[in-house]
Structure 1
Amino acid sequence: MNEYILKTNRLSKKYHNKMALNKVSMAIKKGAIYGFIGQNGAGKSTLIRLITGLGNPTTGTFELFGENNERMIIEARKRIGTIIEGPALYPQMTAAENLEAHRLLKGIPGKDCVENTLALVGLQDTGKKKAKDFSLGMKQRLGLAIALLGDPEFLILDEPINGLDPMGVVEVRELLKKLNKEYGITILVSSHILSELHLLATHYGIIHNGELLEQLSAKELNEKCQQYLHIKVDNPTKATTIIESHLSTQEFEVMPDGIIKLFAYVDVPGKVSKVLTNEGLVIEEFMPKGEDLESFFSNRIGGVQHG
């Protein structure tokens, strides 16, 4: 069985004289929630359009479910559910009528899937209420229900939380977690909101100006953003012994230049400095450090853009 749902190989897309996507090579493992993050215009939607068949690459290739020839990729796309640029809803129809219309368009046999899918996204009790009267969160859930018709193995969602109020964001996030955990659906979700993806994603890809800057797991991101106390003293060896014996922790790392990164006691730094001083150490540098999520992202894309 193929380990990867999607792999791209130097995928590029050029519009007129602008490279919207520039030699992007990314990989999404089966079972992942892949947070595809970048500013508006970074290339997220362009890549999604190529994968879903709404555009053709200028150069490069991709594999979908291990398939890489055009005929087999077209067949593999039947295993995908998508929301691109907002869900396509019929505003004058109820939730059930919307799903029935899309079921017929997709040629999915049997009507049971309509009721089952509505229940899955929590819209089974909307009755005769029309989609135009739904909240934004309900509309997004209905869009997800449409994407879920046909039991897809891979969901591709382009900015699914855009414009949602906080409650709507929570609703969509929890639903995506449920679909991933309970139904084993692999999810690619694009967003420019790193703080929200951090509560959802298992893996990340950071894109900027059409180029994929970095791929990393949630564990790797958390490690890079971990807060710590930066400590420089006149005797690092003695300091580590004191930290172990007096503060009862081994949650530290000694760098080649003698700087100590202490990952414990970040919320009570005074306790650490007092212990070190009482034991006769000279503290030369002592400060909290560590990136937050927004600064991590900003540093990867080169900070504020000019011009």
Structure 2
Amino acid sequence: MNEYVLRTQQLTKRYKTQSALDRVDMTVRKGTIYGFIGQNGAGKSTLMKLVTGLAFPTSGSIELFGATGGAELNLARKRMGVAIENPALYPQLTAAENLEAHRLQQGIPGKESLKRTLDLIGLSGTGRKKTKNFSLGMKQRLALGVALLGEPEFLILDEPTNGLDPMGVVEMRELLTRLNREMGITILISSHILSELHLLATHYGIIHKGKLLEELTSRELQERCRQFIHIKVNVPERAAAVLERELATTEFEVTADGVIRLYAHLDRPADVSSALVAGGLALEQFMPMGEDLESYFASRIGGGEHA
């Protein structure tokens, strides 16, 4: 069984002299939630349109469920559910009528998918209420319902929390988590706000000016953003022994240049410095360090300016 849902190789899209996507190699593994992050205009929507067949690449290749071209790729696209930009919702119709209209357009047999989808997105109680009277959060859930009608294995969602209030963001996140964990749906979700994705995504891709700068797991991201106390002393080996003996911790590392990164006792810096001084060590540098998620993203796209 193919462990990859999506792979692209050197995927490029140009409009006359402008490059919207530049030689992107992306990998989305089966069962993951891939957070695709970049500023507005970075190329997120362009890539999603290429993958879904709404646009055609200038060069490069797309592999979807192992299919790589022509009729096979189009057949594989039927295993996807897509919500890119603003989906077509009919304001005069109810939630159920909207889903029925899209079911007929997509050629999905049987009406049993309607109730299942309404229950899944939490709109089964809306009755005869017209979509024009829905809140933004309800409209976003209905758009997700349209994408779920065909029981997809892979969901592609472009900024699904855009414009939602904090409660709406939480509800959408919980729904997407349930779809992934309980139904095994692989999800590619774009956003320009990393803080929205870090509670949801298992993997990340960072794109800037059409270039994919980095792919990493949530664990790797947390490690790179991990907070620590930066310590430089005259005798690093003795400092390590003091940390183990006096502060009962091994949550530190000594770098090649003799700097100690202490990941424990972040709320007790005075105790740490006192223990080191009492151990006969001279403190040359002692400061809290580490990036938060947004700072890490900002540093990556800053570096991407000259990539």
Q: Which TM-score applies when normalising by structure 2?
A: 0.98
Report whether the alignment pairs 1:297 with 2:297.
Answer: yes
Gaps of 5+ in 1: none
**Equivalent residues of 2:62, 2:69 under 8 A apart:** no
Separation of aligned partners in 1, 2:50 and 2:303: 28
Aligned to 2:56: 56
**Equivalent residues of 2:80, 2:153 under 8 A apart:** yes
Q: Which amino acid aligns with 2:82?
A: T
**Equivalent residues of 1:251, 1:262 under 8 A apart:** yes
Separation of aligned partners in 1, 2:85 and 2:79: 20
Question: Residue 250 of structure 1 aligns to a residue in which SS?
Answer: coil
Aligned to 1:196: 196
Aligned to 2:65: 65
Give the drift of 1:110.
1.2
**Equivalent residues of 1:87, 1:139 under 8 A apart:** no
Give the drift of 1:258.
0.7
Q: Deviations over 1:100-131 (max 9, x none)?
A: 11111111111111011100111111111111
**Bigger CA drift: 266-275 or 224-233?**
266-275
**Equivalent residues of 1:5, 1:65 under 8 A apart:** yes
Report whether the alignment pairs 1:89 with 2:89.
Answer: yes
Separation of aligned partners in 1, 2:43 and 2:90: 29
Q: Which amino acid aligns with 2:6?
A: L
Give the drift of 1:222.
0.3
CA RMSD, Structure 1 to Structure 2 (Å)? 1.2
Give the drift of 1:47.
0.4
Report whether the alignment pairs 1:183 with 2:203.
Answer: no
Q: Deviations over 1:227-253 (max 9, x none)?
A: 000001111111100100111110000
Q: Deviations over 1:150-186 (max 9, x none)?
A: 1000000011111111111111111000000000000
Separation of aligned partners in 2, 1:61 and 1:150: 26
Aligned to 2:233: 233
Q: Which TM-score applies when normalising by structure 1?
A: 0.98
Q: Which amino acid aligns with 2:18?
A: K
Separation of aligned partners in 1, 2:288 and 2:302: 23
Question: Residue 9 of structure 1 aligns to a residue in which SS?
Answer: strand
Separation of aligned partners in 2, 1:179 and 1:13: 31
**Equivalent residues of 2:24, 2:212 under 8 A apart:** yes
Question: Residue 302 of structure 1 aligns to a residue in which SS?
Answer: helix
Alignment of 1:240-259 (within 5 A): 240-259=240-259
Aligned to 2:264: 264
Alignment of 1:118-157 (within 5 A): 118-157=118-157
Separation of aligned partners in 2, 1:129 and 1:165: 21
* Aligned residue pairs, count: 306
Q: Which amino acid aligns with 1:269?
A: P
Q: Deviations over 1:80-102 (max 9, x none)?
A: 00101023211111101111111
**Equivalent residues of 2:213, 2:304 under 8 A apart:** no
Question: Residue 287 of structure 1 aligns to a residue in which SS?
Answer: strand
Q: Which amino acid aligns with 2:262?
A: L
Question: Residue 61 of structure 2 aligns to a residue in which SS?
Answer: strand
**Bigger CA drift: 277-286 or 75-84?**
277-286
Question: Residue 108 of structure 1 aligns to a residue in which SS?
Answer: coil
Separation of aligned partners in 2, 1:69 and 1:54: 15
Alignment of 1:94-133 (within 5 A): 94-133=94-133
- Percent identity between the two aligned chains: 64
**Equivalent residues of 1:6, 1:29 under 8 A apart:** yes
Q: Deviations over 1:18-39 (max 9, x none)?
A: 0000000010000010000000
Q: Which amino acid aligns with 1:47?
A: L
